[in-house]
Amino acid sequence: MSLGENLQRLRKEKGLSQEEVARRLYVSRQSVSKWELDQSEPGVAYLKSLAELYGVTLDELAGRTAPPPISPPAETSPEATTDDDEEDHTSFYWVVFVARTVIALLENLLFTLPNGSLHFPLAWLSMLVGVFIQKEPVWWITLVCLGLDLVVSVIHLVTEPVLGVVGLLLSGIFLFIFTREQVKSFFHVPRF
Tell me: pLDDT of 9 over 50: yes
**What is the predicted pLDDT for the residue at 79?**
46
CB 186 within 8 A of CB 89: yes
What span, in angstroms and rounded, lies between the C-alpha atoms of 142 and 133? 12
Q: Are residues 141 and 56 part of one domain?
A: no
Q: Are residues 43 and 124 part of one domain?
A: no
Query: Secondary structure of 130-157 in the HEC alphabet?
Result: HHHCCCHHHHHHHHHHHHHHHHHHHHHH
**What is the predicted pLDDT for the residue at 78?**
45
Amino acid at residue number 170: L
Residues 6+ positions from 7 with CB-CB distance below 8 Å: 35, 36, 50, 61
Q: Residues 62-89, buried b or exposed e (16+ Cβ, 10 A)?
A: beeeeeeeeeeeeeeeeeebbebbbebb
Region class of 26: left (phi > 0), else alpha (psi between -120 and 50), else beta: left
What span, in angstroms and rounded, lies between the C-alpha atoms of 152 and 148? 6
Tell me the average pLDDT across 66-82: 51
CB 174 within 8 A of CB 145: no
In this predicted model, which residue has the larger pLDDT, 71 or 99?
99
Query: At 20, is the secondary structure helix, strand, or coil?
Result: helix
Tell me the average pLDDT across 57-86: 61
Domain end (from 32, 62, 92)? 62
Q: Are residues 92 and 179 part of one domain?
A: yes
What span, in angstroms and rounded, lies between the C-alpha atoms of 176 and 123? 13
**Domain that residue 144 falls in:** 83-186
Question: 89 in a domain, yes or no?
Answer: yes
**What is the predicted pLDDT for the residue at 92?**
82
As for how many domains the chain has, the answer is: 2
Q: What is the pLDDT of residues 12-61, one digit of tens each?
A: 999 999 999 988 888 888 989 999 998 988 888 888 889 888 999 888 88
